[in-house]
Structure 1
Amino acid sequence: MYVRSWIRGSVDEQRMEGLLGFTIPWHLLAWLVLSVSVQLNPAAFALSNQGEALLSFKSYMKDQNGCLDDWVRSDPTPCGWTGITCDHGSNVISLKLAGMNLTGALSSDIGRLRSLVSISIELNNFTGTLPQALSDLSELRFINISHNNFSNQFPANLSALQLLETLDAYNNNFSGVLPSELGRLKYLQHLNLGGNYIEGSIPPGYGEMMQLQYLSLSGNFLSGKIPPEIGNLSQLEYLYLGYYNAYEGYIPSELGKLQRLVRLDLSFCGLSGPIPVSLGNLTNLDSLFLQINLLTGPIPAELGNLRNLKSLDLSNNQLDGQLPLELKWLKKLELASFFRNQIHGEIPSFFAELPNLQVLFLWCNNFTGNIPQQLGNMGNLQILDFSSNHLNGTIPPYLCREGALQDLFLFNNELSGAIPDSLGYCYSLVRARLGNNKLTGPIPQGLLSLNSIQMLELLNNNLTGQLPETFEAPQLEILDVSNNNLHGMVSEGIGHLTMLSLLVFSGNRISGGIPQSIGNLRKLLRLDLSNNAFSCSIPVTISRCESLSTLDLSKNQLTGNIPLQIENMQVLDFLNFSHNRLTGSIPSQLQFLPSLTTLDFSYNNLSGPIPLHGQFGYFNASSFIGNPGLCGGQLRPCISAAPGDSLNDHEKLKDQPSFLIWLVGGLFSAALLILVVGICCFFKNYQPCICGLFQRKNTIKPWKLTAFQKLDFNADHVLDCLTEENIIGRGGSGIIYKGVMPSGEIVAVKRLSSQGRKGVSNDHGFSAEIQTLGKIRHRNIVKLLGCCSNQDTNLLLYEYMPKGSLGELLHGKQGSLLDWKSRYNTAVQAAIGLSYLHHDCSPRIVHRDVKSNNILLDSDFRAHVADFGLAKFFQNSGKSQSMSSIAGSYGYIAPEYAYTLKVNEKSDIYSFGVVLLELVTGRRPIEPEYGDGVDIVQWVRIKVQTKDGVFDVLDPKIPVDHVPLREVMLLLRVALLCSNNLPTERPTMRDVVQMLCGVKSKSDNNKSIELFSDSASSLRYQQL
């Protein structure tokens, strides 16, 4: 319309007709004019130079989600493209590509965007080095490349960007040392180089960035001393220097000059010496984290000047003295953590007067005296842990005044008096652990009817009275009231506690019959009613508790026969009916219980022959003595059969040699038939797949290579590596090949078959690995480079691990290569990787196949968790998911998973405990010398009960004089905590990391071993 009007206004068609002798249509004339214009000035309609630069920039990466599909050459400028912002002159000033799942390299074409002010490419999967061209962008003020996989030395030339205000490179793979040149960035306000592999010391020149407000160098491998020059950063508000760094010396007192500081985190970085009193000058501080160090001396009274403090964590140090009374001025305090120190004296009463206090940790210290009776009166207290001290007096009555209390841990003290009745109305209560005290009186009515309570431990007290008649706690998982003076009967209401996994009433005076409703407790793992006055017969319904691994009814007055239905309890590991009045014979069916390792039927009135097959062949006479009517085995011989009586089975076989001949012949024939059928099935099902790998020209569907970062090879290069001589491993999920690419890069290729039987799709974990590893990045998680697939076969491409798997090194010919230091470091690094999956991923990830063969070691013997074919995503931590079948590796599978098919993080933790036992013992999870049905967990538990048990289980390939005994004891203790039969008693992976790393922060003395005497419960909490 506009072109036509312009033409008609500019040229008269009749005049053109007169000049040319014919009429030219207007639209043809318009086309001619535009063509001439484009020829004379092509830039007027072509994509701008900056747009061309961006297209070239895009060509170096892979846009898997199609976020940049609107980056097209047909546009005159890139100003309307996704992630691009321009100024009024159409110059690109902002590049924002955060969280778009982009992979590949950062191209040097970015240097052509001379007006660029801001770069934001965080939360992607960029790899390689940062281009030198970045230093040419003199207008840059903002760079965020966090949460990627950039590597090599962090570039010092970024110091040329004199206007730079923000530089965030958190969570990458940068190595080398910190560039001292960055100290020249006078306008820098935010510097984050945490979560990398950077080594060396902090340059003193970093104290010259006078505009700096945020400095984070945590999560690296830094050493040396913290430079006192950091105290010159007068504008600094956030300082993070801890986590995995290992500094020397003290906390610089100069940090007390940082008047604007809001958060100071120096945790877990090897600092020693006293806490500087100058930190009391930081009056704007709201968080002070100094936990897991080697700090000594008393807590400075000057910390009472920190009137804005909300979180104070000084735990896991060697602090002594008393808590200073000046802390009473911290009226905003919400979290106070002092556990695992050597603090003594009474607990100050001012804690009861802090109006906002929610969490108070004082456990594992030397506190004495009474607990302040007004504690909890302010109504905000949620978690209180005073366990493992020397406290006496009574439990305060107001702990749950406003119904906020969730966790109350007071065990291992000398408290007396009654449990406050108010706890019976504390509807918020989740866990209460009051064991190992001197408490008296009855259990408060209502305590076993709280809707939220999950754990109630009252063991080893002097409680009296009867058990409550009402049991209506729907979430209760652990109930332990053992070793008290309780009497009366257990009501049938006990069957309402259907979530129970542990029920212990031992060591009381409870009488009457065992309730029939006990059979409703289908999730019960341990039932201990021993040392009471239970009478009547053992209820047959107990056999419905098919999850039971421990059943102890010893030292009662039970009568009647042993129920033969116990044969249904296939996971039963410990069975004790001793010291009762049981009669009849031992059911022969019990000898075939597959998991039974401990048995005691002694001191009853049982009679008849002892079954000698199956598991019973391993039990000695002590399991059966005190039964005058029993015979056989290691007891007195049974009376021989009278003449004319039927011969027993053993004698029949002696008189029928032909039976043995037929038996052997039949077995040989069956084995031969199975071998022939197996060979036929192999060639029928697998030969086409094998051939298909090499006859690529005949495949129905072409190979597709999907890269998760920039790769210098293609699918053909990968397929050329799939030869017999390149095989480096075989497993249940596939074959592993070593592949050398044309560029010299070495990768590991795992081949998975994606076709199940009869054409049913079965990807053997291919989808799970892609979904899992494609989204996570961590220094201790194996890196997935890409995948290659067609309709028959899936290939996964990993970074190559030269040292192979931990399992191969431990149990192969090269086991001697792993000295104790390497083993301990492997344990720590693998724990950190699993902790990342369980706690830092969103959604959280359960591996489901943790084992030594799935922990790979690089050239520096650094551990990487691998093989995510069975991994599952979990939205809610601690919640179990039901599986359709058991998946995992024999010897590593948690007991509850095996018989309930339910899995959560605790299943991984059990498997990791087995790996730790492998590291200590050098043995496999299952070995013949353990005995039938006995695995490494049970074998170690039996061995360590002897005087020299630790030395008996220690790998003989490690010289004893080269091993720090304290570290061995710790690793063994953590392994047994992780492999506890009860999932609720296992620590979290965060706890495991804290335990394994914390051993370095304790002086080498015998007392330190006592820190681990309370199982996993002493390791419940890290910083909230």
Structure 2
Amino acid sequence: MLTSLLNLLVFSVFFLLFSSSSLSHVLASDYEALLTLKQGFHNSNPSLNSWNYSNSSSVCFWKGVKCLNGRVISLDLTDLNLEGSVSPVLATLDSLIHISLAGNNFSGRLEQVVVDNKENLRFLNLSNNLFNGGLAGWNFSSSPNLEVFDVNNNNLSSPLPLGVTRLKKLRHLDLGGNFFFGEIPRIYGEITSLEYLFLGGNDLQGSIPKELGNLTNLRELYVGQYNVYEGGIPKELGKLVNLVQLDASSCGLSGPIPKELGNLASLDTLYLHMNHLSGSIPNELGNLTSLVNLDLSINELSGEIPHEFINLKNLKLFNLFMNKLHGSIPDYVADGLPNLDTLKLWKNNFTGEIPRFLGQNGKLQELDLSSNKLTGTIPSNLCDSNQLSVLILMNNFLFGPIPENLGSCTSLVRVRLGQNYLNGSVPNGLVYLPKLNLLELQNNYLSGNLPENVDPVSFNPAKLDQIDVSNNRLSGPLPVSLSNFTSIQFLYFEGNQFSGPIPQSIGQLKQVIKLDLSKNYLSGLIPLEIGNCVHLTYLDLSQNNLSGSIPPEISSNRILGYLNLSRNHINGTLPVSIGSMKSLTSADFSFNDLSGKLPESGQFAVFNASSFVGNPLLCGSSLNNPCNLTFVPSPSRKSSSGEFKLIFALALLVCSLIFAVAAVIKAKSFKKRSDSWKMTTFTKVEFNVSDILECMKDGNVIGRGGAGIVYHGKMPCGSEIAVKKLLGFGPNRHDHGFKAEIETLGQIRHRNIVRLLAFCSNKHTNLLVYEYMRNGSLGEALHGKKLGGFLGWNMRYKIGIEAAKGLCYLHHDCSPLIVHRDVKSNNILLNSHFEAHVADFGLAKFLSGGGASECMSAIAGSYGYIAPEYAYTLRVDEKSDVYSFGVVLLELLTGRRPVGDFGEGVDIVQWSRVQTNCRKENVPLIIDSRLTAVPQDEAMHLFFVAMLCTQENSVERPTMREVVQILSEVHPNHHEKLVV
């Protein structure tokens, strides 16, 4: 017995030693393969420090490695931020069942990562890397058991692979977010094992094959997101009875929505937005009783909302905005959809009243019914459970009072009720809600006082950014509680009946940019404290009953660009210090009781004479009312007076002769030096051609381009200018570019468009003289070496809005409208306060006939910014500028150049679409890495606007006026102080 036990023990020890030796031998090959794999990583993550040469037997305990029976069966390096390449040695790990390299920055051709001889491989995830090439080199037949194949969000470019059809066990196929082109192969309808198919975010064309209807095991199907298909949605998709999610958004689909989609009883999400779908909404969609998310927005749908939608009891998101729907909003939207939290039906033709019990379900969070033809009153239950954050009902025919309980709805973030017929008073507390960011009540018939803040602890408007109550019938004093608006930037109170003094507390509005109190009955003095509003760029106190003198402290507002104090009872003299406000380009002091001599220095030389009319006691040479010194002769000194007049006349004659001689000498010298230059000024300047020529030295060059050279100069008067010299125009050639700029800028006066000061020319050269923009161009700020990292998010968003306003002026406020044709970041200039100015009108084009497009003789513009229809047809209209501006918005968001960073033939628009798959949750993937603490909602909003602007079809792009409006809906609460 003992002998038997000893024999058994010896055998066991021998077996263990043999097994250990075999195990070490097998692991040695996997060990070497993994170390070779690691050598290809450029920035090895610290978590891979366990991958070392010290002990080959520890392989199974390395990060991301799992073993079975002595072999590596799983390699998971997900989201380790690794870079570099993946060695083909991966193919030697022939026992792998699971491979995931997702969420890294691996590059190279994907064919090099092919894993052959992997009969047991079931899971392969290579998504979110930078692999390029195609899948032609992949031997799919070597992995017949593969169940998951994911290469989403790479740079793959080829037709969709046909070899995947040989994977009979494939359940999950994700080829999205790449540059696959061509049609969806019909043979994909034979991969009947598929449960998940993602083809979105590519460059696919053709039509959606009806054969996809054979994939009856499919639970999720994504075919949209910037593919461009012909035709419509195949009715055969109605056979996918197990489908839970269907996304065919943003892919150019046309025609009706097939009623067969009503057979998809398990459908949870249906996204068909941003297409060209037409016809009525099928009643059969009411059979989708599992539906939670329904988005049919931005199409051409007509008819009414089907009554059958009353069956969609699980519906939470319901978007039908930007269609051609009509009829009334069904009552069941309020009482028949108990889970509804988002309802957006704006920009349709809905009539009738808003359902009375809307919001009574206690779950409503976002409601936008704006730009319809709705009548009646605002329902009183909208915020019953304090969940409502967005309430937008503007531009309808609503009447009656604003529900009083909205004044205690602390969840509200954005309220837009303007352009209606609302009456009654503003609810107590509404202006002071703690989360409120935007409040618009303008153009209604509201009356009564604007309430004070009675509970500053619970109702502290710490986030309020804009309030607009203009053009109502509000009266009484301005609330002292205005001082609580610590983050307010835009304050519009004009066109009401406010009376009493302007509160001194207005000086506590440290962030205010635009303040308009015009057309009221305000009286008393202009408070000195207004000089504390250091960010103020626009101040309008006109058409009130203000009195007293203009406080010199107003000149403390160093970036003030617009000042209107007209039609008051202001007296005294004009403060000379106002002339030192170099940013002040527009001012109006007319129809007051000002007196004394009009200063002529600084900015006073820029203002029009009409800015001072209606002040009979104000004198000055520019007012045709010279300040003459009147000599009253004494009867006893008549002879002395006569002698004095004679002496004075002789002295005046001598001085005139001296000045005449000096002028002749100077003219000869000037003519010799400047070669018969002619100078045309567009505003009053304190320099001449000689001063301009003096600054045109190589050391003063600040820019060079195909059109010319730009110099920086400082004039003797202290002002700074930028001089643009056109290249390549000799005496016998026509200067079309300069003529366009002159004709355009000569009649433009806008805060966000660069100001042309003068034009100089001789028979050889033409010069344009601009106001100098100290911080250069937006392109330099974003892509140069100095400023990019310091140009923070708030400043970028502000620059985007300001540039949009400049283009909006060209498109909507000029007659005929002006198309810039070269909108780009290098043509958006930044002054010393980083305020944006649209510049360089050398390619500008006037469009007559209501803005109809015109055909150009050749493409003009800059590569990466040119709209598709312009490049193909040479036809240009204002929507061409909108596309280019969308590219600029993407530059602001990503910090990348429009072309050159994404591979040959790929621009920032295509790249952004692919990287995000048009999913708002993916927008953080493309945000400039130099930015910190970027508000995600603002980034997603900016991306949404950029995508609207860069639509392939120009008709689908918004106007610049709409762009300004949409951008202004969400913008930063604070301006960053840049350290440059």
Q: TM-score scaled by structure 1? A: 0.67
The answer to whether the aligner puts 1:994 opposite 2:976 as a matched pair is no
The answer to whether the aligner puts 1:589 opposite 2:539 as a matched pair is no
Counterparts of 1:925 and 1:654, CA distance in 2: 44
Deviations 1:729-777 (A, max 9, x none): xx9xxxxxxxxxxxxxxxxxxxxxxxxxxxxxxxxxxxxxxxxxxxxxx
- Contact map agreement 1:311 1:334 (CA 8 A) in 2: yes
Match of 2:394 among 411, 436, 440: 411
Match for 2:135: what amino acid? F
Match of 2:614 among 626, 631, 634: 626
Q: Tell me the residue number matched to 1:838.
A: none
Match for 2:444: what amino acid? N
Counterparts of 1:641 and 1:458, CA distance in 2: 54
- Contact map agreement 1:549 1:572 (CA 8 A) in 2: yes
Deviation at 1:932, TM superposition (A): 14
The aligned runs of 1:144-155 (5 Å cut-off) are 144-155=125-136
Match for 1:136: what amino acid? N
Deviation at 1:55, TM superposition (A): 2.5
Secondary structure of 1:254 counterpart: helix
Counterparts of 2:522 and 2:356, CA distance in 1: 39
Match for 1:996: what amino acid? C
The answer to whether the aligner puts 1:371 opposite 2:354 as a matched pair is yes
Match for 2:435: what amino acid? S
Please, which moves more after superposition, 561-570 or 584-593?
Answer: 584-593
Match for 2:778: what amino acid? K
Deviation at 1:313, TM superposition (A): 0.6
Structure 1 pair 629–618 and aligned structure 2 pair: CA distance change class (3 A): same
Counterparts of 1:424 and 1:915, CA distance in 2: 36
Structure 1 pair 944–950 and aligned structure 2 pair: CA distance change class (3 A): farther
The answer to whether the aligner puts 1:98 opposite 2:78 as a matched pair is yes
- Contact map agreement 1:102 1:124 (CA 8 A) in 2: yes
Q: Tell me the residue number matched to 2:797.
A: 906
Q: Tell me the residue number matched to 1:195.
A: 177
Counterparts of 2:94 and 2:939, CA distance in 1: 56
- Contact map agreement 1:92 1:116 (CA 8 A) in 2: yes
Structure 1 pair 186–118 and aligned structure 2 pair: CA distance change class (3 A): same
- Contact map agreement 1:110 1:134 (CA 8 A) in 2: yes
Match of 1:360 among 332, 343, 349: 343
Deviation at 1:147, TM superposition (A): 1.1
Q: Tell me the residue number matched to 1:571.
A: 559
Flag structure 1 segments of 5+ consecutive residues without an equivalent: 1-5, 11-33, 662-670, 680-730, 732-810, 818-847, 856-865, 873-886, 889-896
- Contact map agreement 2:438 2:969 (CA 8 A) in 1: no
Deviations 1:619-666 (A, max 9, x none): 222211111122335321423456899999xx99989x9xxx9xxxxx
- Contact map agreement 1:913 1:975 (CA 8 A) in 2: no
Match for 1:84: what amino acid? V
The answer to whether the aligner puts 1:936 opposite 2:924 as a matched pair is no
Structure 1 pair 460–609 and aligned structure 2 pair: CA distance change class (3 A): same
- Contact map agreement 1:176 1:198 (CA 8 A) in 2: yes
Match of 1:68 among 29, 43, 48: 48
Deviations 1:463-504 (A, max 9, x none): 111221337442222221111111111132222222221111
Counterparts of 1:264 and 1:491, CA distance in 2: 52
Secondary structure of 2:138 counterpart: helix
Deviation at 1:198, TM superposition (A): 1.3
Deviations 1:14-34 (A, max 9, x none): xxxxxxxxxxxxxxxxxxxx9
Counterparts of 2:127 and 2:273, CA distance in 1: 26
The aligned runs of 1:104-119 (5 Å cut-off) are 104-119=84-99
Match for 1:480: what amino acid? D
Q: Tell me the residue number matched to 1:562.
A: 550
Q: Tell me the residue number matched to 2:420.
A: 437
Q: Tell me the residue number matched to 2:875.
A: 963
- Contact map agreement 1:92 1:113 (CA 8 A) in 2: yes
Deviations 1:527-553 (A, max 9, x none): 111001111111111111111111000
The aligned runs of 1:832-911 (5 Å cut-off) are 851-853=778-780, 887-888=790-791, 903=794, 906-907=797-798, 909-910=800-801
Deviation at 1:60, TM superposition (A): 2.7
Deviation at 1:944, TM superposition (A): 12
Deviation at 1:199, TM superposition (A): 1.1
Secondary structure of 1:215 counterpart: strand
Counterparts of 2:776 and 2:98, CA distance in 1: 43
Deviation at 1:245, TM superposition (A): 0.9
Deviation at 1:936, TM superposition (A): 3.0
Counterparts of 2:63 and 2:84, CA distance in 1: 18
Q: Tell me the residue number matched to 1:693.
A: none
Q: Tell me the residue number matched to 2:530.
A: 542
Match for 2:181: what amino acid? E
The aligned runs of 1:482-501 (5 Å cut-off) are 482-501=470-489
Counterparts of 2:583 and 2:139, CA distance in 1: 63
Counterparts of 2:617 and 2:840, CA distance in 1: 32
Flag structure 2 segments of 5+ consecutive residues without an equivalent: 1-5, 632-643, 667-690, 700-709, 711-725, 730-734, 738-774, 809-819, 861-869, 893-934, 972-980
- Contact map agreement 1:198 1:222 (CA 8 A) in 2: yes
Deviation at 1:579, TM superposition (A): 0.8
Secondary structure of 1:211 counterpart: coil
- Contact map agreement 1:909 1:989 (CA 8 A) in 2: no
Deviation at 1:63, TM superposition (A): 4.6
Match for 1:455: what amino acid? L
Q: Tell me the residue number matched to 1:421.
A: 404
Match for 1:491: what amino acid? P
Deviation at 1:365, TM superposition (A): 0.7
Q: Tell me the residue number matched to 1:380.
A: 363
Match for 2:953: what amino acid? K
Match for 1:995: what amino acid? L
Deviations 1:44-86 (A, max 9, x none): 7796223223233333333522433333444247333332222
Deviation at 1:335, TM superposition (A): 0.6
Structure 1 pair 931–1019 and aligned structure 2 pair: CA distance change class (3 A): closer
Deviation at 1:594, TM superposition (A): 2.0
The aligned runs of 1:659-738 (5 Å cut-off) are none
Match for 1:515: what amino acid? P
- Contact map agreement 1:501 1:526 (CA 8 A) in 2: yes
Q: Tell me the residue number matched to 1:247.
A: 229
Structure 1 pair 235–55 and aligned structure 2 pair: CA distance change class (3 A): same
Q: Tell me the residue number matched to 1:143.
A: 124
Match of 1:80 among 33, 37, 61: 61
Q: Tell me the residue number matched to 2:307.
A: 325
Deviation at 1:987, TM superposition (A): 9.3
Structure 1 pair 922–78 and aligned structure 2 pair: CA distance change class (3 A): closer
The aligned runs of 1:389-408 (5 Å cut-off) are 389-408=372-391
Deviation at 1:97, TM superposition (A): 1.8
Match for 2:126: what amino acid? I
Counterparts of 1:935 and 1:952, CA distance in 2: 27
Counterparts of 2:438 and 2:567, CA distance in 1: 30
Structure 1 pair 547–210 and aligned structure 2 pair: CA distance change class (3 A): same
Deviation at 1:287, TM superposition (A): 0.7
Counterparts of 1:190 and 1:569, CA distance in 2: 61
Q: Tell me the residue number matched to 2:703.
A: none
Counterparts of 2:298 and 2:23, CA distance in 1: 67
Q: Tell me the residue number matched to 2:144.
A: 162
- Contact map agreement 1:985 1:1017 (CA 8 A) in 2: no
The answer to whether the aligner puts 1:1016 opposite 2:966 as a matched pair is yes
Secondary structure of 2:197 counterpart: strand
Q: TM-score scaled by structure 2? A: 0.70
- Contact map agreement 2:66 2:75 (CA 8 A) in 1: yes
Structure 1 pair 489–912 and aligned structure 2 pair: CA distance change class (3 A): closer
- Contact map agreement 1:914 1:975 (CA 8 A) in 2: no
Deviation at 1:445, TM superposition (A): 1.7
Deviation at 1:523, TM superposition (A): 1.0
Deviation at 1:320, TM superposition (A): 0.8
Counterparts of 1:167 and 1:517, CA distance in 2: 64
